[in-house]
Amino acid sequence: MPYAGVIDYIEALGLRTFGKEVEDPTVIVKRPKFNNEYVRRLYKIELLALWGLLLRDEGTTLDRDDPDLFDEELDDVLEEYGPRIWPKSASANRSHLRTPHPGSLYPKELVYPRDKKVLKQHLRSIILCKKDNSPNRDVDALINKKGEKRAWRITKSAPVTPKRGLDRKGSIGRVAQSAFAVLHRLPSSSDDLDLSSPPDTDTDDSVVGNRTRTKSLKKGINSKVHMHYPTQLRLYKTSPTSGGYVSLPAIVLTGNETSDECFTRICQQTESDCSWIMFQFPEDMSPIPRIRVDRGSRGSEALFQSVLDIFRAAPRFPGDLTRVVEVECGLDMLFDME
């Protein structure tokens, strides 16, 4: 069968998408959604990096008509992702893959490394099919695998995104370290715990005010850290055009989730691909005003668990044990089906 574009090659690779087309097969897929983290990273990070190289170097060191374009790079990509996405073991999880149908774009089951040549050709075709219609695309961000969140230059007024919680090496940054310090290293006297509010928040500077907040948070940490209460995440996004805020459907965490489970629920709830989330903590919940978790980055799970620790330790109010936290979502704006 002939291939018409990116979405056809996705089907030819056997990759299932989980958007509205699941309920309505007539829906035209423009931005595919995946429920498998390795598939998502392959599509959103690895292929975008190679596409960025093509955008930058085509006509100089790269030729899109070269039949061996990115041959070695795709070998490396498949070496890492092939066994995880197209496993050969009969007992392996293949729920993220389609069921083969003769006469379709996916006529037979693909397995790595047996079908490496076919997989490589389809991945290369996805890169070649993608078109760049945006003058604001940050090609270097794509090449350096910084993800969707870095790949657009904001041209209109919008709030500045706070600094990430992770450093470049992927270890837990100063924000997370501060969170762990508050949660796991409690001094014997409340006066020794520095819980002064950040400069950009209103605060009561009196000694009584500071001691009251200190005792309240310390009491919450001691009494709630091992207990699980629901926390409602009120999701929102920043409009790339107006710079204003757009409310999204809320979700509730129980405190037992993983980072990937949280991102999956947000993607399902917003019907978009979320690449990062920024937790905005109330003052009585944490002395750290915000923590950002980047999906799929090294150390993201440890950072997310530190956020859950903060939720577990948060003071609860009589009659309503559910706390509410505002969460900004970095929703996907890349790799549309053009």
Q: How far is CA 82 from CA 118, 265, 297, in A?
A: 12, 26, 19
Is the confidence at residue 177, as pLDDT, over 70? no
Is the confidence at residue 334, as pLDDT, over 60? no
3-state secondary structure of 326: strand
Round to whole Å and give the CA distance between 305 and 317: 23
Res 227: pLDDT? 52
- Provide the pairing of β-strand 323-331 with 231-238: parallel
Q: Which residue has the higher pLDDT, 249 or 30?
A: 249
Give the rounded percent of residues in the chain with a pLDDT score beyond 70. Answer: 71
Round to whole Å and give the CA distance between 238 and 60: 37
Residue 85 parent element (H or E): helix 71-85
Res 229: pLDDT? 79
Res 336: pLDDT? 45
What are residue 293's DSSP bridge partners?
277
Least confident segment among 6-10, 24-28, 58-62, 198-202 = 198-202
Phi-psi region for residue 321, left (φ > 0), alpha (ψ -120 to 50) or beta?
Answer: alpha
Mean pLDDT of all residues in 8-32: 88
Q: Which residue has the higher pLDDT, 125 or 195?
A: 125
Q: Which of 112, 114, 111, 117 is nearest to 68 (CA)?
A: 117
Is the confidence at residue 212, as pLDDT, over 70? no
**What is the chain's mean pLDDT, rounded?**
77
Tokens of 125: 């075709």
**Which residue has tokens 């099919």?**
129
Res 33: pLDDT? 87
Q: Which of 243, 217, 232 is nearest to 327 (CA)?
A: 232
Is the confidence at residue 161, as pLDDT, over 70? no
Torsion of CA 201, 205, 209, 213, to 10 degrees: 40
Is the confidence at residue 213, as pLDDT, over 90? no
3-state secondary structure 115-168: CHHHHHHHHHHHHHHCCCCCCCECHHHHHCCCCHHHCECCCCCCCCCCCCCECC
Q: Mention every residue, 6+ apart, whose C-beta is less than 8 A from residue 115.
A: 86
Res 284: pLDDT? 82
Is the confidence at residue 91, as pLDDT, over 70? yes
Least confident segment among 28-42, 80-94, 167-181, 189-203 = 189-203
pLDDT digits (tens, 9 = 90+) for 231-286: 999 999 987 777 788 899 999 999 889 999 999 999 888 888 899 999 999 888 88
DSSP letters, 218-264, are HHHHHHHTT----EEEEEEEE-TTT--EEE---EEE-S---HHHHHH
Res 111: pLDDT? 95
Q: Mention every residue, 6+ apart, whose C-beta is less than 8 A from residue 72.
A: none
Is the confidence at residue 44, as pLDDT, over 80? yes
Res 315: pLDDT? 84
Tokens of 193: 């715990």
